[in-house]
Amino acid sequence: MIDASFGVPVIRHWGRLVEGPVTAERWPDAPARPGSVDVTPPISVIPTHGDGFPGRPGLAGHRRGGRVWSPRFVPHSVTRDESTVTITAVDAIAELTLTSTFMMRPDGVIVVSVSLRNDGDSPYMLDAFGPTIPIDESAVELGVLSGRWAGEFRFHRFDWPIGAWTAENRLGRTSHEHPPFVWATSRDASEWSGDVWGLHLAWSGNHVAYAERLVDGRRYVQLGELFHPGEMCVYPGESIAAPDVVLVHSSNGFGPASWGFHAEARRRLPRTLGPRPVLLNTWEAVYFDHDQAKLLHLADLAAHVGIERFVLDDGWFGSRRSDRSGLGDWFVSSDVYPDGLRPLIEHVRGLGMEFGLWVEPEMANPDSDVLRAHPDWVLATDGYEPVLGRRQVVLDLTRADVFAHVLGRLDALLSENDVSYVKWDMNRPLVQASNRDGKAAAHDQTMATYRLFDEIRRRHPKVEFESCSSGGGRVDFGIVSRVERFWTSDNNDPIARQRIQRGASLFLPPEIMGTHVGPSPAHTTGRETSMVFRAITAFFGHMGVEADLTAMSEADRADLATAIGHHKSLRHVLHGGRSLRIESPDGTIVHGVVSMDGREAVVACAWIAVDVRPFSVRVPLVADGLRVRVLLASQHGPTEIGLGPDGDLVFPAGAAETAVLVHLSAS
């Protein structure tokens, strides 16, 4: 329920369905407290200090000299249609207009958008701006995601404290550390029970997440863009829109709540996706050693095991024989490819596969032709030595000449070569990122990156794109409208990946989550695992391979081909169904996907504890009336896991990392 009478709209209730008449009286304002203001202000979508709100204002700014720093809005207009309510409020003294839009999706997802217009004749300096969402007082716990490179999407759940919890991100991308997803839950919430409220800021740059429990017991979550000092100024007659906040709720636990996020991600995709082609990425197979003979052989073996898309990763351009030079020089290297990429592409296409290419358009090495010719193209602060990351700097895409150059090179690559797929990487954060005027430019750089994606997609509408940022550093619903896939992590160790993918599945549907079969031992951890275990782990997403097929045994290639075959036969379930995260005994991860009609499911159970089990473990399957088939089961020594006589999955004693893949279908 939305109340527009206060000035700035107030969300009186969202979440559990209520019976009876929906009126404001059912959700009264908090009573005044002694020692406070006479009327306790509600938690509006943009609460302000001028209204007496005791928490963090949703809008902070001022005009020259610090004037009109504390606005107070009054109602102006309300418009609505079947799915959207738009409410405007004005402050004639501050000369500001605030517009709040609430879009209600048929599946219960809510999208909140706010914008601010400067109606005055002087600039309005903006320090903070973002929607504030009240949370029911039955939500006593918070759940957040955190992580690092090769360890993304770790889910943490904790008691909601008195006072505030906050996470701030200044890295210029969504980040590994603090992706902007916040969950509020009842005490008893689990995967399939309890009340769960989920909130996400659809933005790929700097942000702040803030959750507060006021002393009177009221709770709210605030999500918005984080601005550097002096970064954001709204000029006369101009407006700024805050990133969307996506809201989901379930009274039946995290599982159904995450389906709301999945549905919204699918709606925002740039195109309707069918079954996703299995791909091979060359990175962990060859790194920078682009030997054409090996790549041709790798392509032959890829086609043999059932690969449908061959992606050439870093190292094909300029002087890029390592990460020390050549980045930004988007010309095919004549040293490695004297005849260009055409012979390799034609070979790949002749094998029935699509061809993909890796780029990192936002960055350059100092040791590059582009920066030798244009040293002023760096997004940095004059007078300071730029801080390097992975031996590279950031290009200032806010400049028209830099933007035009990068767009031109990408356009030429895709026009001159038969490329169906682009893996777009961003391997370092922004540090002291200033434009030519010395002003902080993280916001403008993010918007320029969006424009670059949009324009290259407009020119090449058939090409698919993947968002990668040292793995899962840029995964959000702002970039999802520009890509068909996210690279979830640079860590292909299947034990680590089981946890990473489980965290990512809270908000990403399987078909846009990149999941690869890596080498053994894993290059990030050195851990050895069986091919079947790796394949089962990669099965539940946009499946791929990132390993040297030329170095694999025949037996491993045969197991891989079998797994890819099963994957292709079940993509109609995997790439359009509902994800399941099933609670299971310690040391196991059980998850799956069920078709929308409920007649088919694919379920995997993995033992991820690194120690040897001294006893057998049983995981019950609810499979009454269903046909159950074990498709793949990894083996450790003389034993393998599989179905017990009562239909349960059985992990025998003595086996360490093991997994089973099961297909269930209606009889």
Going by C-alpha positions, the residue among 260, 245, 274, 199 that lies closest to residue 508 is 260
Q: Where in the chain is the domain with CATH 2.60.40.1180?
A: 580-666
User: Residue 622 pLDDT > 70, yes or no?
Assistant: no
Average pLDDT over residues 187-216: 97
Q: Is 425 a catalytic residue?
A: yes
Give me the pLDDT at residue 628, please.
83
Residue of 239, 230, 236, 260 lying closest to 248 (CA atoms): 260
**Position with higher pLDDT, 38 vs 284:** 284
> What pLDDT, on the 0 to 100 scale, is given for residue 22?
59
DSSP 244: P
pLDDT digits (tens, 9 = 90+) for 43-88: 999 999 999 999 999 999 999 999 999 999 999 999 999 999 999 9
**How is residue 395 annotated by DSSP?**
B
Site of tokens 């086609």: 303
**What pLDDT was estimated at residue 615?**
58
**What is the pLDDT at residue 629?**
86
The CATH superfamily label for domain 2-264 reads alpha-galactosidase from lactobacil brevis (2.70.98.60)
**135-149, 440-454, 631-645: range with lowest mean pLDDT:** 631-645
Q: Is the pLDDT of residue 21 over 90?
A: no
Q: CA-to-CA distance for 665 and 667, rounded, in angstroms?
A: 6
Is 449 within 8 Å of 468 (Cβ atoms)?
no
Give the pLDDT score at 612: 57
Mean pLDDT of 175-191: 98
The average pLDDT across 430-441 equals: 97
When mean pLDDT is compared across 114-118, 400-404, 659-663, the lowest value belongs to 659-663
Which residues sit opposite 431 in a β-bridge?
A: none
635 band by pLDDT with thresholds 50, 70 and 90: low
Our measurement of the distance from residue 509's CA atom to the centroid of its chain's CA atoms, rounded to an integer in Å, reads: 10
CA gap 280, 286 in Å, rounded: 12
Which residues, 6+ apart, have CB-to-CB distance to 383 below 8 Å?
Answer: none
Q: What is the pLDDT of residues 472-499, one digit of tens each?
A: 999 999 999 999 999 999 999 999 999 9
Q: pLDDT digits over 311-349, tens only?
A: 999 999 999 999 999 999 999 999 999 999 999 999 999
Label residue 40 by pLDDT band (50, 70, 90): confident
DSSP string, 449-491: HHHHHHHHHHH-TT-EEEE-BTTBSS-STTTGGG-SEEE--S-
- Has residue 433 got a pLDDT over 70? yes
Among residues 113, 108, 109, which one has the least CA distance to residue 131?
A: 113
**Please, which pLDDT band fits residue 623 given cuts at 50, 70 and 90?**
low
Q: Residues 455, 461, 467, 468: is their CA dihedral positive or negative?
A: negative
Task: List where CATH 2.70.98.60 sits in the chain.
Answer: 2-264
Q: Is the pLDDT of residue 198 over 50?
A: yes
Residue 586 has a pLDDT of: 79
Separation between Cα atoms, residue 362 and residue 260, nearest integer Å: 32
Q: Which of 332, 351, 362, 360 is nearest to 280 (CA)?
A: 351
Q: Report the pLDDT value the prediction gives residue 588, as an integer from 0 to 100.
A: 86
* Residue 541 · residue 513 · CB < 8 Å: yes
Asked if residue 645 has pLDDT above 90, the reply is no
In one-letter notation, the amino acid at residue 271 is R
- Residues 445, 397 contacting (CB under 8 angstroms): yes
pLDDT at 32: 65
> Where does residue 327 rank: exposed (0-12), middle (13-18), buried (19+ CB within 10 A)?
buried
Place of tokens 């760096």: 378
- In angstroms, the Cα distances linking 88 to 6, 31, 100 are 11, 26, 6
pLDDT-based confidence at 248, cuts 50/70/90? very high
Distance of CA 426 to the CA centre of its chain: 14
From the candidates 91, 195, 396, 490, give the one annotated as an active-site residue: 490
At residue 457, the pLDDT reads 98
- pLDDT bin (cut points 50, 70, 90) of residue 639 is very low
Look at domain 580-666 and name its CATH class: mainly beta
Long-range contacts of 12-17 (CB under 8 A, 24+ apart): 13/136, 14/110, 14/133, 14/197, 14/247, 14/249, 15/136, 15/195, 15/197, 15/249, 15/251, 16/136, 16/195, 16/249, 16/251, 17/251
Q: DSSP letter at 557?
A: H
Distance CA 380, CA 387 (A): 8
Polymer length of the chain: 667
Range 160-167 average pLDDT: 96
The per-residue pLDDT for range 203-227, each reduced to its tens digit, is 999 999 999 999 999 999 999 999 9
pLDDT of residue 20: 63
* Residues 410-429, mean pLDDT to the nearest whole number: 98
- How does pLDDT run across 371-386, given as a tens digit for each residue? 999 999 999 999 999 9
**How many beta carbons lie within 10 A of that of residue 526, not counting itself?**
9
Q: Which residues pair with 665 in a beta bridge?
A: 600, 627
Res. 31: pLDDT tops 80: no
Res 587: pLDDT: 82
- Please give the structure tokens belonging to residue 660: 């089973």
Tokens for 611, please give them.
Answer: 């120690």
Residue type, 575: H
Query: Residue 485: is it exposed, middle or buried by C-beta count within 10 angstroms (0-12/13-18/19+)?
Result: buried
The two structure tokens encoding residue 632: 């793949």
Please give the Cα distance from 661 to 531 (Å, whole number).
Answer: 13
Between 627 and 170, residue with greater pLDDT: 170
Q: What is the mean pLDDT of residues 391-417?
A: 98
Q: Give residue 633's pLDDT.
A: 86
| Helix (H) / strand (E) containing 235 | none
Asked whether 317 and 369 are in contact (CB, 8 A), the reply is no
Q: What would the DSSP string read from start to end of 88-157?
A: EEEETTTTEEEEEEEEE-TTS-EEEEEEEEE-SSS-EEEEEE--EEEE-TT--EEEEEEEETTEEEEEEE
User: What is the per-residue pLDDT for 55?
Assistant: 96
Per-residue pLDDT of 527-559, as tens digits, reads 999 999 999 999 999 999 999 999 999 999 999
For residue 359, pLDDT over 90 is answered with yes
So what's the pLDDT on residue 321? 97
pLDDT in tens, 568-608: 999 999 999 999 999 887 788 999 999 999 999 999 988 88
The CA distance from 437 to 443, in Å, is 15
Whether the per-residue pLDDT at 25 is higher than 80: the answer is no
Average pLDDT over residues 261-269: 98
Contact between residue 219 and residue 184 where contact means Cβ atoms under 8 Å apart: yes
- The pLDDT mean for the chain works out to 93
Q: Has residue 614 got a pLDDT over 70?
A: no
* 201, 223 contact by CB (below 8 A): yes
Exactly one of 91, 396, 425, 556 is catalytic; name it.
Answer: 425
| The pLDDT value given to residue 659 | 86
Structure token pair of residue 210: 């803030």
